[in-house]
């Protein structure tokens, strides 16, 4: 069962659940509709879902001149209870006027935590390696503040980027990570850093998180959590060699991004790995995979990461039972071999979605 104990927002009585759907670019347009279908399949387990289609992405930028229209942000703030974001095709070269809409959305909505669980689903009980970890990625700082400059120096062109790490953001993400670790059987938290080289920035991140159990407001709450730490390059090595040693990992923005994508290789595909971007008042699900232009339009994009992200979103809102129904249905689909080509299967996006919906509707929990 794919279950992650996430600190939930206060549950409020809702007549309907208003979900913003932001397909973005590439296969985002093919997988985000899965959210609509699985939420409808849950029936009375959730408030009646209402869907608000919203625009963002590089294609939106090419069409209207902005990657994240103001009306999208306004709708998320004023109309939506939650959202699902698909994917974005950010160019690798600088495009004047363009910046990543997902990075901007995280800042606009103060979605300071990117929570990325990576869990293997064995097709049989004899599978030798089992992965069950969560990467908790700080979502607002590090090099993603995008403060870059190009100048001419004595040796020609020089490109420089400013990296930002604050005590405030480190404390927020640290508390989120401790809460996650507290709800896990192993209660283990690993701090990822490179403070042996970046002693000021990563040093502040590391020291701030280690100090959280001693804060007056913690009051012994995290005494049962075992704190470990790993230099980021060593962490990547051990992730591939011994993924079983990890439980909850907390990392600055860039390291968390790299580690979670690397961890996806351990469970078969980026198309299986979900995430939520979470703040204190809003949550937005997001599959970890990108826009995958090489398979766009072929009908074989894996919808399972989006479906799992939908479950994470519901769990964060306090809807545990429907989240479990979705998780169980995904597990059943994988174990029955109903998967897309990225996972070694032969089925289409719609085939896999249809099978998951069938499993949801027939579930008895």
**Could you say which of 48, 147, 223, 233 is catalytic?**
233
Q: Tell me, yes or no, if 202 is annotated catalytic.
A: no
Contact 136, 113 (CB under 8 A): yes
Stated as kind and residue range, the H or E segment containing 161 is strand 156-164
**Could you say which of 112, 144, 255, 347 is catalytic?**
144
Q: Tell me, yes or no, if 194 is annotated catalytic.
A: yes
Stated as kind and residue range, the H or E segment containing 16 is strand 16-24
SS (H, E, C) 269-312: CHHHCCCEEECCCCEEECCCCCCCCCCCCCCCCCCHHHHHHHHH
Beta-carbon neighbour count of residue 359 at 10 Å?
20
Q: Tell me, yes or no, if 94 is annotated catalytic.
A: no
**Could you say which of 18, 29, 194, 355 is catalytic?**
194
Q: Tell me, yes or no, if 257 is annotated catalytic.
A: yes
Distance (Å, rounded) from C-alpha 288 to C-alpha 260?
Answer: 8
Distance (Å, rounded) from C-alpha 357 to C-alpha 57?
Answer: 28
Residue written as token pair 């508390």:
175
Q: Tell me, yes or no, if 294 is annotated catalytic.
A: no
Distance (Å, rounded) from C-alpha 104 to C-alpha 35?
Answer: 23
What does DSSP say about strands 132-138 and 113-119: parallel, antiparallel, or unpaired?
A: antiparallel
Contact 87, 233 (CB under 8 A): no
Helices 201-211 and 167-182 cross at an angle (nearest 10°) of 40
Contact 137, 256 (CB under 8 A): yes
**Could you say which of 257, 327, 342, 351 is catalytic?**
257
Instruction: Give per-residue burial for 144-179: e unless 16+ CB within 10 Å, then b.
Output: bbeeeeeeeeeeeeeeeeebebeeebbbbbbbbbbb
**Could you say which of 107, 171, 238, 261 is catalytic?**
261
The residues annotated as belonging to the active site are: 144, 194, 233, 257, 261
């Amino acid at each position: 069962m794919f279950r992650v104990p996430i600190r939930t927002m206060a549950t409020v009585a809702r007549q309907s659940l208003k979900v913003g759907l932001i397909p973005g670019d590439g296969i985002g347009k093919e997988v985000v509709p899965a959210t609509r279908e699985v939420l409808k399949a849950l029936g009375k387990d959730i408030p009646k879902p209402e869907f608000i289609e919203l625009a963002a992405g590089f294609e939106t930028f090419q069409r209207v001149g902005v990657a994240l229209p103001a009306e999208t942000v306004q709708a998320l703030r004023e109309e939506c209870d939650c959202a699902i974001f698909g994917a974005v095709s950010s160019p690798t070269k600088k495009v004047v006027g363009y910046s990543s809409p997902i990075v901007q959305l995280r800042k606009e909505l103060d979605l300071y935590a990117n929570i990325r669980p990576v869990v293997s689903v064995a097709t049989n009980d004899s599978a030798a390696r089992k992965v069950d970890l969560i990467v908790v990625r700080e979502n607002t700082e590090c090099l993603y503040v995008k403060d870059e400059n190009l100048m001419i120096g004595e040796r020609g062109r020089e490109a420089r980027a400013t990296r930002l790490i604050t005590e405030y953001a480190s404390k927020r993400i640290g508390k989120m990570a401790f809460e996650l670790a507290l709800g896990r059987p192993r209660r283990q938290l690993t701090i990822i850093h490179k403070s042996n080289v970046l002693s000021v920035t990563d040093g502040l991140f590391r020291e701030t998180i280690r100090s959280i159990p001693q804060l007056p407001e913690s009051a012994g709450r995290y005494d049962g959590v075992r704190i470990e730490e790993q230099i980021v390059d060593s962490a990547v090595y051990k992730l591939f060699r011994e993924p079983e040693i990890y439980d909850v990992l907390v990392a600055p923005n860039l390291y968390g991004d790299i580690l979670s994508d690397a961890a996806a290789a351990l469970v078969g595909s980026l198309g299986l790995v979900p995430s939520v971007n979470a703040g204190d008042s809003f949550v937005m699900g997001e599959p970890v995979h990108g826009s995958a232009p090489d398979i766009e339009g072929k009908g074989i994009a894996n919808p399972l990461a989006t479906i799992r992200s939908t479950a994470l979103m519901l769990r964060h809102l306090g809807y545990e039972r429907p989240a479990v129904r979705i998780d169980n249905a995904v597990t059943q689909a994988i174990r029955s071999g109903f998967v897309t080509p990225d996972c070694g299967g032969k089925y289409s996006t719609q085939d896999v979605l249809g099978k998951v919906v069938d499993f949801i509707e027939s579930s008895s929990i």
